Structure 1
């Protein structure tokens, strides 16, 4: 664990703040949830994750056999398929890159096509009983959380790699945490039992999503000569203001609304993340599955993601769940200057090539 690493994460287009410390036990004191993700320590994040995973465990135990078969908003999969994906993502995706980082090899693996990997693992578990999937999920979750609990704070900040490029070990933990938070939403919305996000852990995850994950998807080669600022104004218990700035081939996102901007996006955090992560009405995903062969079987998952992604954003805009105003030329250029969810395979390949 104390090895000297050969290189640090490339700053590239991402500005990641240092790790600070903050007591997360806010609910007992009646305080507003912490929304600055950098102010939470490894121990703080593990405390929040334990609370969420306790809730998730109750969710998994409470679904009936019929409810496990219901279609979800995620890629045309049933609730059972989503559970199979949540289970397999830990050993197949997260454990690989975490292990490489902790072994002092934070560069990219030769292949990391998560869409194809996930689809293969879901299919492989097609006949596994739900009870067995739940047991496997609990086993895999406890194993990977044990690894994070045993890390030192310096290990938490070690360089790592994910499909967005070079990151830190903390990012791998937060990506899995956020992924499972939204997958619980998939399971419960499919069964009309969704109570809404708990802001205690969702607020800092939204901050992470905007300040670290969003700029990590920036494509500087598509932003030549672009200088623009965009405000994200999110309402609700996990809301706030963030300002994204693109200039000189770099992107950063900062908290606050202290400067003039060219574009303003107004939404609640849930609608924004749902659109960004291609959550669409279940029938859209099921329809997409019937035409997933159009670009070839090898790109079936990319096709489904593209269809659900386009439908999700169109629905959010049409229903005014997301409102975007400002200079239309700048809006179009900013949209082109970032990788999108359904472009993950191409983004991953590009980031592997960068090393």
Structure 2
């Protein structure tokens, strides 16, 4: 499908709902939680299939590392973005994200799981620094490429990508890996609860309908009143609105991860 036939949002470029310093603390904490999860994986669990079509746990981790590599240095950022954009244009695709993630999986496929985890731990501090620097420089500027969310093209600021989405991405893949392996994501109110709160607020703004949302578990809470009542586990809520599994009603409103 080409970009010309996709509906396009006329809304202003989306901005982050989290202040930068807190966003970077959440980023560092999420990277640490992902490292802890990877260290818990047994050898046979790396080949478990995930909700990401065609990816097992090892592929998912390769993409996650690729994102960290991309944000850890300017040459990596420019190289990955230019390659994926070129491949998307050649394929006449509306967005380049699938080409970017595929590139990351390919480039990290030769690493052993021990090497992957070691590089993750080595590069995540640099990725946080790189994200902070990019956010500071380009925070309110619109990204040149529209992003595909829920079948619609929309615009983001660099701040929304760097401060929000690049932390939601490993958070969601941590949940993917746990769902594939049966491991506990060990959510906490302090970290996961803060991410969930931001996700809920965006979800509420996107659907624009009165509702009462009750999310259970350590990262849960209650938002809104009246309208449709939705009750489920906080981690499952995030997975549903990310497009993993069937969702009906307001849960069909997509939020980017």
TM-score by length of 1: 0.51
Would you say 1:158 and 2:158 are equivalent positions?
Answer: no
Structure 2 counterpart of 1:52: 30
Q: Is the 8 A contact 1:233 1:267 kept in 2?
A: yes
Aligned to 1:171: 160
Alpha carbons 1:157, 1:170 under 8 Å: kept: yes
1:157–1:169 contact (8 Å) kept in structure 2 = yes
Q: CA-to-partner distance for each residue in 1:175-197, whole Å, 9 max, x for gaps?
A: 11121122222223433221431
SS at match of 2:156: strand
Which runs of no fewer than 5 residues in structure 2 stay unpaired?
1-8, 79-87
2:141 equivalent to 1:142? no
Q: 1:76 to 1:180 in 2, by over 3 A?
A: same
Show the counterpart of 1:183. Answer: 173
User: Within 1, Cα distance between the matches of 2:28 and 2:70?
Assistant: 22
**Map 1:233-244 → 2, pairs under 5 A:** 233-242=214-223
Deviations 1:69-121 (Å, cap 9, x if unpaired)?
A: 2223333421111111111234569989xx79xxxxxxxx9774212332343
Tell me: CA distance 1:94–1:335, structure 2 relative to 1, closer, same or farther (3 Å).
Answer: farther
* Cα distance change on mapping 1:46 and 1:183 into 2, 3 Å: same
Deviation at 1:339, TM superposition (A): 5.6
Separation in structure 2 between the aligned mates of residue 87 and residue 340 of structure 1, nearest angstrom:
23
Q: Which blocks of at least 5 consecutive residues in structure 1 are unaligned?
A: 1-9, 18-36, 101-108, 219-226, 243-255, 280-311, 315-323, 325-330, 345-355
Q: Contact 1:206 / 1:238 at 8 angstroms: preserved in 2?
A: yes
Structure 2 partner of 1:268: 233
Count of residue pairs the alignment pairs up: 226
Residue in 2 that maps onto 1:309: none
The structure whose residues are more often helix, as a share, is 2
Pairwise CA distance, 1:122: 1.7
Q: Tell me, yes or no, if the aligned pair for 2:30 and 2:170 is still in contact at 8 Å.
A: no
Deviation at residue 68 of structure 1 after TM alignment: 1.6
Q: Which segment is superposed worse, 128-137 or 75-84?
A: 128-137
What are the residue-to-residue correspondences of 1:306-345 with 2, within 5 Å? 312-313=245-246, 331=249
Q: Which residue of 2 aligns with 1:64?
A: 42
- Is structure 2 residue 131 aligned with structure 1 residue 132? no
Determine if contact 1:70/1:78 at 8 Å carries over to the other structure.
yes
SS at match of 1:167: coil
Q: CA offsets, 1:18-39, max 9 Å, x none?
A: xxxxxxxxxxxxxxxxxxx64x
